[in-house]
Amino acid sequence: MPEKINKKNQVEFWQKTPIHITLVIIAFIWTLPTMGLFISSLRQREAMLSSGWWSVFLHPFELTQYHLGNYLEVIQSQGMGQAFLNSLTISIPATIIPIAIAAFAAYGFAWMEFPGRQFLFLIVVCLLVVPLQTTLIPILRAYRDLGLANTFLGVWLAHTGYGLPLGIYLLRNYIGALPRDLIEAAKVDGASHLKIFTRLIVPLSMPAIASFAVFQFLWVWNDLLIALVYLGGTKNVAPVTIQLSNMVGSRGQDWYLLTAGAFISMTVPLMVFFALQRYFVRGMLAGSVKS
């Protein structure tokens, strides 16, 4: 009997070997650019201009070819600390506000009966394909008239508007897949829509909410276009992306600083992702079959 089990395990192992090899190859190809960027961030500018990053593997233990000067120059540059605070000031409200609005809207589309519900949801879905570039000039003119240009409130509202269609779509699919019996039982007990939403929907929808929070935060943190258009390039409101762009220069003469700056700017998004990653896969898969 043990021999049969061992043979069965061996057969299953060899059958899955091509899949494992394929996954390893895909993972290697996926991480190769990041590895090259990290190695380049530890090299001097002259070395980067004269040879490729892979040349370090000729003498991998020669420590003189590595240095932290790029990181020190980025960290010690004037305005980088303020830029990090500005990025947090932009990203946190621009993530929380659309999550709150999208959750309420998703519950309404999923479980509340009102005229035009399906038509309104169709409009929300159609907004997913509208390029945000087409809205920059009209919104910027409106901000200028309302006095919201170059303010954090203006960029919060912009990111909220751009993120709501995806948030409503994801959360509506998840909330709509929750058991109907649970919602109806709460209504029979006399629970209002607000109580059902706060006591049932929000706790049960945390995987989907966390998934959308990761997407929204990463998008806002790494954004350059919206911040540049609605905030401008002044240091008192510029986020990390604009500060790095200013450091590199208009002609890209200090492009080598982007290698170190990219990894410094990745620290906060990575912490957010690893903090919420246990919800990420569940939230993305939920509602993909039944809606």
In sign, the C-alpha dihedral spanning 117, 122, 128, 134 is negative
Average pLDDT of every residue of the chain = 84
Question: How do residues 190-211 score in pLDDT, each as one tens digit?
Answer: 888 889 998 889 988 888 898 8
The yes-or-no verdict on residue 154 having pLDDT over 60 is: yes
What residues does CATH 1.10.3720.10 cover in the chain? 72-289
What does the pLDDT read at residue 109?
92
The yes-or-no verdict on residue 256 having pLDDT over 60 is: yes
Cα–Cα nearest to 282, from 235, 223, 212: 212
What integer is the mean pLDDT of 206-217? 89
The yes-or-no verdict on residue 284 having pLDDT over 60 is: no
Q: What percent of the chain has pLDDT over 70?
A: 89
Q: What is the pTM of this model?
A: 0.80
Q: How far is CA 163 from CA 76, 129, 220, in A?
A: 33, 12, 9
Cα–Cα nearest to 149, from 241, 86, 234: 234
Question: How do residues 47-95 score in pLDDT, each as one tens digit?
Answer: 887 888 888 888 877 878 888 888 888 887 767 888 888 999 999 999 9
Q: How far apart are CA 243 and CA 237, in angstroms?
A: 10
Q: How far is CA 51 from the centre of its chain?
A: 33
What does the pLDDT read at residue 112?
87
In this structure, whether the domain defined by 72-289 belongs to CATH 1.10.3720.10 is answered with yes
Q: Which two tokens stand for residue 166?
A: 């995806």
Q: How far apart are CA 121 and CA 89, in angstroms?
A: 31
Q: How far apart are CA 222 and CA 239, in angstroms?
A: 9
Q: Which two tokens stand for residue 182?
A: 């649970």
What integer is the mean pLDDT of 168-194? 88
Is the separation of the CB atoms in 273 and 214 below 8 Å? yes
Q: What is the 3-state secondary structure (H, E, C) of 201-230?
A: HHHHCHHHHHHHHHHHHHHHHCCCHHHHHH
Pick 70 or 256 by higher pLDDT.
70
Exposed/middle/buried for 64, CB within 10 Å: 0-12, 13-18, 19+?
Answer: exposed
Pick 214 or 233 by higher pLDDT.
214
Exposed/middle/buried for 20, CB within 10 Å: 0-12, 13-18, 19+?
Answer: exposed
Is the separation of the CB atoms in 138 and 145 below 8 Å? no
